[in-house]
């Protein structure tokens, strides 16, 4: 691989995006913006930057170093598609929501599927990240049912504290491992 080139990286992103039918609006642009994602270059290094309210909230760099450019570029591309597939998976989940299931089950699965279509290594990496999240915050398939009961109890005149207690007694929260 030769020197990193902003237009080549943009082309790679667009080619990968076609494989998963990623909407154009989710892809980083080539111009600096006050809001959203874009690519930039400085002294041969390629930057993937996300801004909110003109503040950088995420930055990944693909350094143009002899022999290491491909590794850095792969990490940058993973970051781009981690964000893109998260948005796509979230939209998919909201359109296919299963009330008796933690919404993360469907969105995690969809994101892993999309990343796996691009690169198996990316799917595996995201699967490990999701596993760490689930270890810390286990799936809670009863959360929607518990919330419905809470609202029903609260609307019937029960105090908020008692409604929470009653709904959590009937539909307990999962325990952390």
pLDDT digit string, tens, across residues 44-71: 889 999 999 999 999 999 887 776 688 8
User: For the chain, what is the mean pLDDT?
Assistant: 93
Share of the chain above pLDDT 90, in %: 81
Separation CA 73–CA 1 (nearest Å):
11
Q: What does the pLDDT read at residue 43?
A: 85
Q: Are the beta carbons of 126 and 112 closer than 8 angstroms? A: yes
Helices and strands of the chain, counted as H and E runs: 6, 3
């Amino acid at each position: 691989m030769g020197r990193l080139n902003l237009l080549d990286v943009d082309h790679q992103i667009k080619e990968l995006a076609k494989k998963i039918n990623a909407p154009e609006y989710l892809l980083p642009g080539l111009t600096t913006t006050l809001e959203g994602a874009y690519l930039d270059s400085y002294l041969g290094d390629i930057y993937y930057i996300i801004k909110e309210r003109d503040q950088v909230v995420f930055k990944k760099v693909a350094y143009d170093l002899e022999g290491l450019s491909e590794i850095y570029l792969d990490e940058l591309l993973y970051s781009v598609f981690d964000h893109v597939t998260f948005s796509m998976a979230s939209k998919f989940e909201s359109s296919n929501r299963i009330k008796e299931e933690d919404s993360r089950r469907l969105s995690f699965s969809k994101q892993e599927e999309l990343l796996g279509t691009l690169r198996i290594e990316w799917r595996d990496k995201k699967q490990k990240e999701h596993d760490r999240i689930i270890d810390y915050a286990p799936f809670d398939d009863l959360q929607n049912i518990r919330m419905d009961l809470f609202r029903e109890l609260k609307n019937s005149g029960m105090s908020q504290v008692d409604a929470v207690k009653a709904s959590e007694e009937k539909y307990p929260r999962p325990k952390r491992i």
